[in-house]
């Protein structure tokens, strides 16, 4: 379809989407930059110069001039936010894919809240200190940065999710339907595990627990928030070290870890189709759960993956064996349920 001036409606849609995304992204970059500059400038008389910028087990052990800290904060954020804006402006095709938009949204949201959280923790520790050596400790404020990164990434991805989703199945295999006799009930189960992820996760839990116990009994072993983070990261590693997928008349069930917890169930009415596709860690960003809600990959080993498309348009890829047969069964059950 061609517009009166000769441009295609598809091109106008792509240009409009890119323009809206870049405008919102630029506004967010400007807002965060203004806050990063305004907050320390407003509190300038209550901050020492230089500022404490690094903490060890016994307190502040590193400093930097106020002006340098301010420039570094702003430059770091402009590098993150500006890079995302440039990527959006130069890649209209990326924005037409939901996964591409959500990735840029997560970068903008997570990067912005991360920088703001780091500034908040640093400013609050230095506030009203006569000298950087007498700045307060970070304690719980140190957890603001990872929390801001996670929350901002989730909100940014959620905000960028609406819109078109041009799905490419390049390299994938459309699954044939299975022939089921009337009344026949079929179940497909497959699993995958990653021994390295299990070992690393268990090691983090063991080390973090040991250091946390030592700190509880008064040993000079370091800041306890770091030990808690290590334990939580280790538990996540153990929980995501294996995956089990089950497809039956009641839908798709995905469970994680040795205890098969957490467990997620998706009924057939919320599923659209499935196919098998080869994916590798280098293509999805590494091992474990990669991507964002609506465009995620559970990557425990490279190779054959089951790719499921939701009725809402989102997708989930899971690295399990015999994915083509599982996809065929799911497509058959979805088709039967629609009759």
Residue 60 lies in a domain: yes
Find out whether 164 and 10 touch, Cβ atoms under 8 Å. no
Query: Residue 237 domain-assigned?
Result: no
Domain range for 283: 171-188+265-339
Q: Is 151 inside any structural domain?
A: yes
Query: What pLDDT shows up at residue 223?
Result: 62
Q: What is the mean pLDDT of residues 246-258?
A: 90
Residues 152 and 34 in one domain: yes
Helix or strand or coil: residue 242? Answer: strand
Q: Is residue 207 part of a domain?
A: no
Residue 2 has pLDDT above 60, yes or no: no
Q: Average per-residue pLDDT in the chain?
A: 81
Residues 179 and 54 in one domain: no
Q: What is the mean pLDDT of residues 271-294?
A: 80
Judged by average pLDDT, the poorest of 164-173, 251-260, 315-324 is 164-173
pLDDT of 18 > 80? The answer is no
- Reported as a single tens digit per residue, the pLDDT across 207-225 is 878 777 776 666 555 566 6
Residue 254: its pLDDT value, please?
93
Whether 71 and 184 share a structural domain: no
pLDDT class of 11 with cuts at 50, 70, 90: very low
Say which range, 18-32, 38-52, 258-272, 275-289, has the weakest mean pLDDT: 275-289
Give mean pLDDT, residues 22-39: 91
Interatomic CA distance for residues 316 and 187, integer angstroms: 20
**Minimum mean pLDDT range among 88-102, 249-263, 293-307:** 88-102
321 domain residue, yes or no: yes
Beta carbons of 274 and 333 less than 8 angstroms apart: no
Domain boundary among 141, 160, 179: 160
Out of 111, 141, 160, pick the residue that ends a domain: 160
Asked if residue 99 and residue 179 are part of one domain, the reply reads no
Split at pLDDT 50, 70, 90, the class of 138 is confident
Mark whether 129 and 27 lie in a shared domain.
yes
In Å, how far from its chain's centre is CA 73?
23
Kindly state the greatest CA–CA separation across the chain. Answer: 81
pLDDT digits (tens, 9 = 90+) for 140-191: 666 778 888 888 888 888 888 777 766 544 444 455 677 777 778 889 999 8
pLDDT of residue 94: 67
Domain count, the chain: 2
Quick one: average pLDDT of 87-108? 77
Whether residue 283 lies inside any domain: the answer is: yes
């Amino acid at each position: 379809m061609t517009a009166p001036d000769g441009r295609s409606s598809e091109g106008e849609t792509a240009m409009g989407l890119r323009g809206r995304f870049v405008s919102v992204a630029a506004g967010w970059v400007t807002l965060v930059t203004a806050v990063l500059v305004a907050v320390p400038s407003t509190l300038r008389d209550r901050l020492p110069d230089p500022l404490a910028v690094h903490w060890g087990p016994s307190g502040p052990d590193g400093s930097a001039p106020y002006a340098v800290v301010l420039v570094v904060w702003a430059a770091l954020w402009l590098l993150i936010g500006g890079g995302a804006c440039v990527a959006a402006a130069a890649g209209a095709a990326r924005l037409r894919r939901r996964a591409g938009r959500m990735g840029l949204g997560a970068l903008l949201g997570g990067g912005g809240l991360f920088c703001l959280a780091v500034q908040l923790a640093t400013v609050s520790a230095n506030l009203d200190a006569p000298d950087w050596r007498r700045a307060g400790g970070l304690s719980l404020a140190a957890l603001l940065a990872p929390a801001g990164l996670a929350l901002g990434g989730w909100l940014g991805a959620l905000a960028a999710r609406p819109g078109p989703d041009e799905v490419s199945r390049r390299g994938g295999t459309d699954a044939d339907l299975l022939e089921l006799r009337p009344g026949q009930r079929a179940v497909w189960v497959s699993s995958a595990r990653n021994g390295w992820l299990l070992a690393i996760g268990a090691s983090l839990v063991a080390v973090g627990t040991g250091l946390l116990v030592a700190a509880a009994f008064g040993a000079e072993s370091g800041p306890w928030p770091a030990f808690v983070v290590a334990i939580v990261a280790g538990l996540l590693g153990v929980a995501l070290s294996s995956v089990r997928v089950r497809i039956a008349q009641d839908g798709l069930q995905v469970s994680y870890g040795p205890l098969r917890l957490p467990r997620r169930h998706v009924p057939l009415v919320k599923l659209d189709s499935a196919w098998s596709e080869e994916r590798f860690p280098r293509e999805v960003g590494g091992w474990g759960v990669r991507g964002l809600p609506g465009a995620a990959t559970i990557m425990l080993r490279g190779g054959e993956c089951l790719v499921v498309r939701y009725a809402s348009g989102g997708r989930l890829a899971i690295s399990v064996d015999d994915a083509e047969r599982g996809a065929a069964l799911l497509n058959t059950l979805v088709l039967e349920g629609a009759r």
